Amino acid sequence: MNFKGKAHKVGDHIDTDAIIPARFLVTTDAAKLGENCMEGLEPGWVKRVTRGDIMVAGRNFGCGSSREHAPVAILGAGMPVVIAHSFARIFYRNSFNMGLLLLEVGDDVDKIHDGDELDIDAAAGVIHNRSTGEDIPFPPLPSSMAQILNKGGLVPYVRERMQSA
């Protein structure tokens, strides 16, 4: 799994209501949710995003309620990956279940600046910052998690496994 995109930095303790405010939870359509991604942080934030770009966050990203709409909104905005110092645990699991790749890199997140161009090789466990030339290592994804992501999330993964059984 390889990704390339521009980094869009957000801060620490961004909760799920900042990612997708409750007033937008009237749909499960990823594209509609994506249109309002990060609206609780800054109105119009998503207009800066181009499909394939990468969200970069600080500590405890995705804290708050456990709504699955939050990772769906990020995906719907066209961002297939979030890199952060750390993630709220339930958001972490929900994201993989919904097909969103999360990379936890600790203090190395400070090596990424807003607008940096990033290349990610999830299998090798390397983020290459094309803007600075630095490489940021992270633990490669376990194959079980990669399989879930490759199928688009837990439901498509399980559906395919049940059909082949």
pTM of the model: 0.94
Residue with structure tokens 């919904």? 98
CATH code, domain with 9:
3.20.19.10
- The residues, ordered by sequence, that sit 6+ positions from 76 with a Cβ below 8 Å of its Cβ are 29, 30, 31, 32, 33, 34, 35, 37
What domain range is 127 assigned to? 2-164
- pLDDT of the chain, 165 residues: tens digit per residue: 899 999 999 999 999 999 999 999 999 999 999 999 999 999 999 999 999 999 999 999 999 988 899 999 999 999 999 999 999 999 999 999 999 999 999 999 999 999 999 999 998 999 999 999 999 999 988 889 899 999 999 999 999 989 987
CA 54 to chain centre: 7
CB burial string 42-53: b at 16+ within 10 A, e below: eeebbeebeeeb
- Looking at the structure of the chain, the number of domains it has is 1
